[in-house]
Amino acid sequence: MHLSRNPDSLKLKCLFASTLLLCIAVICVAFSMGDRDGFDSSRREVLLRRIGHEILLQSGDSVSRVLPVKKTGENEYQISFEHELTFQPDSLVNTTRRVLAQDRGVGAYIVNVLNCGSSSVAYGYAISRNGKDDIIACLGRSQPRACYLISIKFQPTKTNTAKYGYLLGCLVLLGCIGYIFWKPAKTRNVLPENPEPQPGSMFTLGSVLFDAQSRKLLINDKTIDLTVTENRVLLMFALAPNEIIERRRLQKEIWEDEGVIVGRSLDMFISKLRKKLEADPNLKIVVIRGKGYKLEVSS
């Protein structure tokens, strides 16, 4: 009976190990995506500096510097300048469109020109992926010379979405398989697959002393013998006192012979055990309707 359970346990372990390896592979792929994203991010910063450079030239400034581009958030960047400048909204829109067209990962984005001191929005517009949903206003109006910051926020790319999706899905799958693997393992610890008396297998159940090896009960200095089957049933209860043991599991553990359930009555043995334990009122085998049996040991 014990050997018949091993293939299922082995299959479960193989399933868990295979899933773990699959998740590790997916995580490696996801992180390799992250490496590609790092390259794309650096290339995008170069393009943003190009936008700053062209805006300075359009403002008549070919001397001052474009300060280092800052990444202020996920998919959000900020272009700043050494000196004050002026800009034409038309030129700004056309410049960002033309330069960012060189970035294949760019879809929709929002541009806000901020005043340095107050961070208030001096001008802004939104560019959609298909161009039909662009939001552009106030063209043809020159902006006064001042200190400006240009903030550009990009819509998350499909690569980032896929990466987080892979990681989340992998963690959920690993958690589910781990739970499935852990649950039966816990059950096997509570209810051994093939309970056999071990040398010195003595259990104290209330005022009853149960010697599983010699198949005897000692109650109030009175010795009561147990049959082999009664001993195995009580041993399962003694290993998990106050725990529910499913009726089907009791039948499989005790009377299964190469996959065939022998036609014996579990209720009959439970009834006999009850009579042998009735000397201790704090020790009862109770029926849990729809589930199985439980050995209640009251203090």
Average pLDDT for the chain: 79
221 and 283 housed in the same domain: yes
Range of the domain at 50: 28-160
Among the candidates 127, 160, 193, a domain finishes at 160
Q: Which tens digit of pLDDT belongs to each residue from 102-126?
A: 888 788 999 999 999 888 999 999 9
Total domain count for the chain? Answer: 2
Q: How far from each other are the two terminal CA atoms of the chain, in whole angstroms?
A: 35
Scanning the chain, the segments in alpha helix (DSSP H) are 2-58, 89-100, 158-190, 228-239, 247-255, 266-277
DSSP state of 195: -
pTM (2 d.p.): 0.45
Does the structure show a pLDDT above 80 at 37? no
Domain assignment present for 288: yes
237 and 295 in contact (C-beta within 8 Å)?
Answer: yes
Could you tell me the CATH number of the domain that includes residue 284?
1.10.10.10
Q: Which tens digit of pLDDT belongs to each residue from 84-102?
A: 999 999 999 999 999 998 8
Domain assignment present for 167: no
Q: Rounded mean pLDDT of 264-279?
A: 84
CA atoms within 13 A on the CB side of 86: 8
Q: Which tens digit of pLDDT belongs to each residue from 2-34?
A: 334 445 556 666 766 777 777 776 666 655 555
Among the candidates 128, 160, 192, a domain finishes at 160
Q: Which tens digit of pLDDT belongs to each residue from 238-270?
A: 998 999 999 888 887 766 654 445 545 788 888
Domain assignment present for 73: yes
> Nearest to residue 113, comparing CAs of 74, 138, 79?
79
Domain assignment present for 291: yes
Domain assignment present for 190: no
Domain assignment present for 81: yes
